[in-house]
Structure 1
Amino acid sequence: MEMAYSEVMALPAKERGPLLKLLAESGDNDACLEYAKLIFADKYSGTPSAGQSKDEAKAEARSEAVTYLYDAARRGHLPSIILGQDAVFLGRRGAFNKVLCKVSYTKAIEFLDLWLAQEPEPDDRALALFRKGLCLKLMNAETPWDEVKLLWEQSASLGGEHGIAAAAQLGVWHYDNGCYDEAIPWLEKAKTASMMAASHLMLIHKNHTKSEDDYKECSDICLALCSTKPKPGQT
């Protein structure tokens, strides 16, 4: 007889894996989420079936974790959407750098589209838009710049940490393409929080606008940012 989700969660973590898998296969969204969490925390490595090696069982379990998250995400389960997009965008690694979840920008976009369809709060929307643009940029040899630009502009308009990251990326793209006047407004938006933005803006004022005051201001900002420990992923 199949145990209820609450009964499974009352068990020690090491006993939950196979039972959560059964519930996930039956469409229990919470079980999908918790099964993935077990896998990503390296607390369950699958149970080999007949003729299956331990390594094959591990690979299958790690693949299933993403599959179950996506199944729950398509059913509108927000926690699964959020964990799923983060896991496949950043990847998950365990002890000795073992890969518990592979990076997949294609799958990340699928999760991010589901997140955006739920009309998230501004900060979450800014993150989703920024990451979708970054995925498109990283996965294509010929970057669909117009689409990336639109996504990052929408993200930047929302402000906050992720909007700042998007503004910095926009500014750097314009800088790299020699469009310094177009770069300045985006870099200005991000300069006090982004070393990348402040340093590129400093170079523009040194070599393009020739503004000593603006150059010094950006130089001072860079020095201040150097003394501040950046958050993971901060640019």
Structure 2
Amino acid sequence: MKTVLHKANTRGHNSFGWLNSFHSFSFGHYYNPERMHFGALRVLNDDTVAAGMGFGKHPHDNMEIVSIPLSGDLHHQDSTGRNEIIRQHDVQIMSAGSGIAHSEMNANKDQQVKFLQIWVMPKELNITPRYEQKSFKPADRTNQILTIVAPDNKDAVWINQDAWFSLANFDAGKIAEYKLKNSENGVYVFVIGGDATINGVALNERDGLGIAETDKLSIEANTNTEILLIEVPMNINAD
């Protein structure tokens, strides 16, 4: 088993007044050659956007971009004419494929929006750009692991990669197990809130832990804990 630990206070950080952003991997003005990616996982940004502000229209290509609002609402618009509000408990994915331009703005004028923005390298290059958004009930991940992103599950949003994202809200003392879909994959665990022990490694809020060369994870919630599990290929091949 191989592990890489990213404590919350070692993440990259950029603040632009309207945006407060923490980077688990190299992004924008933050560059760390030891934190370029974890397998196919390229970006995990923990963003807070001021009321009424946001990211103006900008292009992407050949990247799977997942947005998970933690509080507040995001207003998404893109070059295909898509115009959507993404709310807490929603999950959005945009397969940029051959190219798309989009904006993401705080939909509210009176409160911040907090969200995770996650990029995964695609399995197939230059596909037709694609968008999907689903809502998930918090009760469906209480003391259990809920798949929210998958290439093979109609109840999740689809991703152009052999990757699976899962969310779980565990009560203190809960013990659970996550079995990898593919033992050659790795899993990046991100603690959204609380404290947990993963395969014997103690994690606190906003810590990240990458684990490879194992077929399962043992999870123990030391407090009431919310975690995100991102299972990705470790060998990156895009056609």
Q: TM-score, normalising length from structure 1?
A: 0.24
Q: TM-score, normalising length from structure 2?
A: 0.23
Looking at secondary structure, tell me which structure has more helix per residue: 1
Larger radius of gyration: 1
Looking at secondary structure, tell me which structure has more strand per residue: 2
